A and B are shown apart, each in its own frame.
Chain A
Amino acid sequence: MQIQPILAALRKHKIPAFLIVLEIALACAVLCNAVFMIGQRIGEMRVPNAIDEAGIGYISVRGTDPNLANADIPRDLDALRQIPGVTASAAFNMIPLGGSGWNTDVGTSPENLLSKDSPNVAQYMFTQQGPEALNLRLLQGRSFSGEEYAASTLGDDFMPTAHVVLVTRSLAERLWPGESALGKRIWIGKQTNYTVVGVVADVLRPNQNGLGAAGFHWSLFLPVSPNKGMGAYLVRSAPQDRERVLRAAVQKIESLSPAAVVKGRLFSDIRDKFFANTRSMVWMLVLVCVVMLAVTAFGIVGLTSFWVGQRRRQIGIRRAVGATRGHILQYFQTENFLLSSAGVAIGMILAFGINLYLMQHYQMTRMPWVYLPASAIALWLLGQLAVLAPALRAANVPPVVATRSV
């Protein structure tokens, strides 16, 4: 296929050619960035969370008398554990992805608190059976003993009097990179420290707390005896029982504490709510991409049809002097390929520029380069697909057209 005549013909149609190039360039730039954003958001929603998400129900109890908590909580837990199907239940101060939570700065020594070396972490606290209720996966060391729960109470400052702590793997690596965390001390405040007895697989925090993805797994777990401040219960059951168990649990707590405001939620609903914004953004981006590609394709169809109509006579002449249908078809396909190539070339530069801008202003990360050729190929295919119908129509122009009204 010779390119020379195609270029010569395009030179006669500068404006439509330029329009197609521009449209493809814009589509390519937007597509790259939109697909990248979609990928990022989906990645965000899929961050690992090593708890039994399918089997957990969460019951928040608010508005009770905090001074009665050490009597109320054991009574409630007893009742919850009697519900058929409950495999574990404990009182908690908060839940992963719950939205609001308890965050604190920790250090590896009292001196480096409040410095750059003191990351902000989520401070989970739970009563006995807490690790079982979440299904924490122990990687190193041990879990808490019964005595450690019993000996730990909350002071007025809401810090447990325990001396032991579990940390997530990410937090252990953040605090002691390359070392074993077991036996090390974590300081919360200048006076309080806890010894790491175990490392568990990564559990998400209630919220990102402005730390982005990096700090999303920085959590620690402290044991406490039933105490004020433990405003929620977790019940764990087999996934198929969870709805029934949660309903029963809410009813039990409501009947035990009539003055309280009780609210039960499945963990899967908590997760859905946490990522609701992200999910709707993903759908919106997908919608924009699809409609945008459709509009681009229709634009190509429209302009190429116009061209075909305009060149009927020339096509007829070519056919009359010996060009086959295949030649005509190829002509339009090559033409479209050239225009698309120019479009994606500009589009890739534009996409890169947009990505740089987004990195500066919207906490976006650098787009991996594979997105550029991938969306280029997508637009090439789209162009070829769009041009097919008009090109076939062109190929069907009979040679006899050439002999009419020249």
Chain B
Amino acid sequence: MFTYYCDLALRSLKRNRVLTALMVLAIAVGIGASMTTLTVMHLLSGDPLPGRSAHIFYPQVDPSPASFAKHPLDMMDYRSALDLWSAHRADRQALIADSPVKLRAPEANVPPLMRTMLATTSDFFAMFDVPFAYGNAWTAQDDADRARVAVISSELNNRLFGGKDSIGKILRIRDSDVRIVGVLAPWRPSPQFYTVVAGNYANGQTADFYAKTEDVFAPFSSALEINDGNFQQFTCWGMPARAGHLTDSPCVWVSLWVQLDGAAKVAEYRGFLAHYAQQQKTLGRFAKDDTRMLDLMGWLDYNHVVPSDVKLQMWLAFAFLAICLCNTVGLLLAKFLRRSGEIGVRRAMGASRRAIFGQCLIEAGMIGFLGGVGGWLLTLFGLWLIRNQPVAYADLAHLDAGMFALTFAVSVAVSLLAGVVPAARASRIAPGLQLKTL
């Protein structure tokens, strides 16, 4: 029966091509717009560390004067960050600070480059599951020794060394020579979660949280020496004595991430953090003993990482889909009722209302499937448009298998939904009246 209804549906669709095309197009456009924005939303709001994010936390303390801020600041001053880090109370912990650097490779014939260097500590790579193509992370000993070593991104390795194994080669960062100990495999966390700060001050313009990762990673202590004078503060409550040199400044500019496996450890670390803040307050270094420790996803939510334009676009697309849906309902109604005579004959010959309802729904579903094909093509086009936009997340906009399947599922679901009212109406057609007019 199903195949027969499919055949009938196809015939019916062929009978009035303009009306069919209008319906398919309406669904395709609605689906294309919604799926494009939904895909972007899905890519931007996803978990950057699936399975692990619940164990990653962002501790915050407040070293600023009493009147300065209501909440703990988004980053930490050097001393607090270093105190907390060197206490080693978490399973893994990493300090983080970004700074711009000039890069050269004595062996490569490439003009000097300005790139961003991430000053961090050895746990960073293991904690965030960073993939390596060659070599490894530096060791905790390297952190302590201020070793002149670095890990570089795969993109930089391609640029400087043509993608070959460059372990042991020399990279000149500003004026210091460092030895490359690791080369990352392509790594594109979305967002670049570990540097997300200040989302609350961005007025929803947070697209830059989705930028590519840094190109050079160096031990925190070494990077501070190599690039002294080029670090940028997040905010200050007094003038730094020497701009760009922030270790003893009244500024916050360092982040600390910790990994805590298990609820007991989380509670314990919260206690440790509170104790540290109280102790510093007693010592007179802190004016407030506020602390906060959100987990990774909590921190991303707190910073409203998904750009508000993306959310607006998604709502807009769904409103648009609703309009297309209304449209399709109307056109389906017109289509089914135009066939009243035919339906009357079927009913008179013994078809049940349920059979008529089913037949109509199959026709609606077929339109949905055709609309899905169109919607899929339009989604691909929409994503292509986004890839050509000058936004930081442009390169991420691709349709994955899940969203591909969802496109068809949504399309068929939407058209079935649109088909319910017209099909119900058609199945209520009284056979007698129709036969009389034939």
Contacts and interface: CB of A to CB of B under 8 A. Distances in A.
A131 to B, nearest CB: 24
A150 B198 CA distance: 38
Interface in A210-231: 210, 212, 229
B104 to A, nearest CB: 8
A336 to B, nearest CB: 14
A314 to B, nearest CB: 14
Interface string A24-48: 0011011000100100000000000
B102 interface: yes
Interface in B133-151: none
B241 A210 contact: no
A contacts with B: majority SS: helix
Contacts of B327: 23, 295-296, 298-299, 302
Contact of B322 (A26, A159, A302, A361): A26
B44 to A, nearest CB: 14
Interface string A328-358: 0000000000000000000000000000001
B166 to A, nearest CB: 21
A98 interface: no
Given A208-B203, A280-B391, A299-B330, A26 B22 contact: no
B144 to A, nearest CB: 29
Contact of A115 (B67, B244, B326, B390): B67
Contacts of A66: 229
B216 to A, nearest CB: 14
Contacts of A189: 238-239
Contact of B390 (A22, A114, A276): A276
A260 interface: yes
Interface residues of B, number: 59
B334 interface: yes
Interface stretch (B188-196, B255-263, B282-290, B310-318): B310-318
Nearest to B32: A291
A68 B326 CA distance: 70
B240 A157 contact: yes
Given A157-B241, A306-B337, A292 B320 contact: yes
B145 to A, nearest CB: 27
Contacts of B437: 405
B239 A30 contact: no
B405 to A, nearest CB: 25
Contacts of B30: 295
Interface in A169-210: 188-190, 192, 208-210
B336 to A, nearest CB: 10
Given A114-B68, A277-B205, A302-B330, A26 B313 contact: no
A405 B326 CA distance: 34
Interface string B200-242: 0111110100000000000000000000010000000111111
B114 interface: yes
B82 to A, nearest CB: 22
A114 B238 CA distance: 9
Interface centre among A115, A192, A281 (most CB of B within 10 A): A281
Interface string B158-195: 00000000000000001000000000000000000000
Contact of B338 (A276, A280, A306): A306
Contacts of A295: 26, 29-30, 320, 323-324, 327
A16 B320 contact: no
Contacts of B202: 210
Contacts of A292: 320, 323
Contact of B26 (A26, A280, A298): A298
24 contacts: A15-B333, A19-B330, A22-B326, A26-B319, A26-B323, A63-B102, A114-B237, A208-B203, A210-B202, A229-B243, A261-B112, A276-B389, A280-B391, A285-B316, A291-B33, A296-B327, A299-B26, A299-B323, A299-B326, A299-B330, A299-B331, A302-B330, A363-B204, A405-B437
What 3 pairs across the A-B complex have the smallest Cβ distances?
A63-B102, A210-B201, A306-B334
Interface of A: 15-16, 19-20, 22-23, 26-27, 29-30, 34, 37, 62-63, 66, 114-115, 156-159, 188-190, 192, 208-210, 212, 229, 259-261, 273, 276-277, 280-281, 284-285, 288, 291-292, 295-296, 298-299, 302-303, 305-306, 309-310, 358, 361-363, 405
Interface of B: 19, 22, 26, 29-30, 33, 65, 67-68, 100, 102, 111-114, 174, 198, 201-205, 207, 229, 237-244, 308-309, 311-313, 316-317, 319-320, 322-324, 326-327, 329-331, 333-334, 337-338, 389-391, 421, 425, 437
